[in-house]
Structure 1
Amino acid sequence: MSRSVLVTGGNRGIGLAIAQGFAEAGDKVAITSRNGEVPAELAKYDVLAVRADITDAAQVDAAFTEIEAAHGPVEVLVANAGITKDTLLLRMSEEDFTSVLDTNLTGTFRVVKRAAAKMLRARKGRVVLVSSVVGLSGSAGQVNYAASKAGLVGFARSLARELGSRSITVNVVAPGFVDTDMTAVLSEERRQEIVSGVPLGRYAAPAEIASAVRFLASDEAAYITGAVIPVDGGLGMGH
């Protein structure tokens, strides 16, 4: 059956690959982004693109209202939208820290809370949060990003306990280094340094993250909740 799926930050990178995967499977897919445009890669699918800044609760509510009118209540929510503002702690401004937390963690709270109300009523739902290996292992120069991504784990596990009795699962995917625009800006020297620490010896393709997300949203994963699934080539083993 075709489900109503929402992917936040679905206009590029990992979010785009996730949206494309669900669309190819026949689901009714909506994406949010700050520009509200349909990426060229999704043009051949009937994907609904909605403009929404997840740091604004009113915009989040308006986006859900538009999606519900077109596709029905959201049955699968993938909270993927996020930002980075990397720098060492002593150079990090308070705005660098709070803006990353507001988007990556509090923004997730906003979209999940809005989706959960309808899921509770329907007594079913899938929530998948996109965290990062950095949230588990740490990374110099990313205390804000790592804190926001680590926070998603506690958020998801607490929510899994709250919503489990209504057949709503809440899980986390923790990607490692993925070949996206965000990592493309790194120098070749830095890319090789990163790859040297990955047992599989390469970056992930965005589609490999999307496959894990789609599994957690599937019937086959109905008994998995509160889990953190690393998709990192072995980089974060032990965390």
Structure 2
Amino acid sequence: MKNALVTGASGAIGSEISRMLASNGFRLYLHYNTNRSAAEKLQNELKDRYGVPVFIVSADLSKAEGPKALWTQIQEPIDVLVYNCGSAHFGLLTDFTDKSITETMQLHLLSAISLTKAIVPNMIQKKSGKIIMVTSVWGDVGAACETVYSAAKGGLNTFVKALSKELAPSHIQVNGISPGVISTPMMDQFTDEEKRSLAEDIPAGRFGEPREVSHAVEFLMSEKADYISGHILSINGSWFT
């Protein structure tokens, strides 16, 4: 049985990715930071529905010590890593504190690098593995009032491309998924009118669904994508092309 680690598993996108992996027979390590009840609920659901082993692990990946704290809770080599951590801070660059800048970069970029570094040696030894980073459309094009987040996600995109070159000789694929607007609780901070206006700006005329992100992960972690590496797959309804 193969092992998968999903960070941010208690969120809307992470939960759908976890369900998909469980349906494919993976032993799962589900990471959460503060929402233990959601992680436990998902753990029980996946055990009951799919009969696979599911473990929950906790760490604050916005802190430098977070990746080590997470990795020490895992006892198995990881075959599939899905790094899916996200929290957006809106505001002008001049309004950001040094602490918030550091934590944003740590969560969205530095912890992804550190955790991957810990996982990769076992993948290299086995000559197989899939690493998938959930990034953002803002990592492709940048966004005003989300400059630090955009910078971190842009760095993550480049990390994917660079690492894919290092690991290709070991038959390990590294890819990213770049969602646009996805219907998650993160969108609840906007009014209905603001959300309608935003949907009108998207050529597809709607927001994406978390399951649509999980479908992309399912493809990239499958044998069908064994010759795809260093790619950032956009899921944005043709919003930015």
* TM-score between both structures, scaled by the size of structure 2: 0.91
Supply the AA of the counterpart residue of 1:90: T
Mapping of residues 117-136 of structure 1, within 5 Å: 117-136=121-140
CA distance in 1, matches of 2:93, 2:72: 39
Supply the AA of the counterpart residue of 1:99: E
SS at 2:113 equivalent: helix
Change (3 A) 1:41 1:218: same
Match of 1:22 in 2: 21
Contact 1:12 1:39 in 2 (8 A): no
Offset at 1:184? 1.9
CA distance in 2, matches of 1:41, 1:29: 11
Greater Cα offset, 118-127 or 87-96: 87-96
CA distance in 2, matches of 1:65, 1:96: 26
Supply the AA of the counterpart residue of 1:128: I
Greater Cα offset, 82-91 or 170-179: 82-91
- Structure 1 residues 37-82: Cα deviation after superposition (integer angstroms, max 9, x where no partner): 32424422232110112245655334334322xxx31000001112
Match of 1:4 in 2: 3
SS at 2:174 equivalent: strand
SS at 2:153 equivalent: helix
Give runs of ≥4 in structure 1 deviating > 3 Å. Answer: 55-59
CA distance in 2, matches of 1:138, 1:76: 28
Match of 2:165 in 1: 161
CA distance in 2, matches of 1:150, 1:39: 32
Match of 1:48 in 2: 55
CA distance in 2, matches of 1:179, 1:59: 28
Greater Cα offset, 84-93 or 49-58: 49-58
Change (3 A) 1:25 1:156: same
Greater Cα offset, 219-228 or 131-140: 131-140
Q: Which of 117, 120, 124 is the equivalent residue of 1:116?
A: 120
Offset at 1:92? 2.0
Offset at 1:90? 2.3
Matched, 1:13 2:17: no
Matched, 1:229 2:211: no
Supply the AA of the counterpart residue of 1:22: L
Change (3 A) 1:23 1:203: same
Instruction: Give aligned-pair identity as a percent.
Output: 29
CA distance in 2, matches of 1:175, 1:140: 17
* TM-score between both structures, scaled by the size of structure 1: 0.92
Contact 1:96 1:144 in 2 (8 A): no
Runs of 5+ in structure 1 lacking a partner? none
Q: Which of 68, 73, 81 is the equivalent residue of 1:66?
A: 73
Greater Cα offset, 162-171 or 10-19: 10-19
- Structure 1 residues 134-182: Cα deviation after superposition (integer angstroms, max 9, x where no partner): 1112211100111111111110111001111000110000001001111
- Aligned residue-pair number: 233
CA distance in 1, matches of 2:125, 2:35: 28
Offset at 1:27? 1.1
Offset at 1:32? 0.9
Match of 1:98 in 2: 102
Matched, 1:191 2:195: yes
CA distance in 2, matches of 1:63, 1:92: 27
CA distance in 1, matches of 2:192, 2:63: 37
Supply the AA of the counterpart residue of 2:56: A
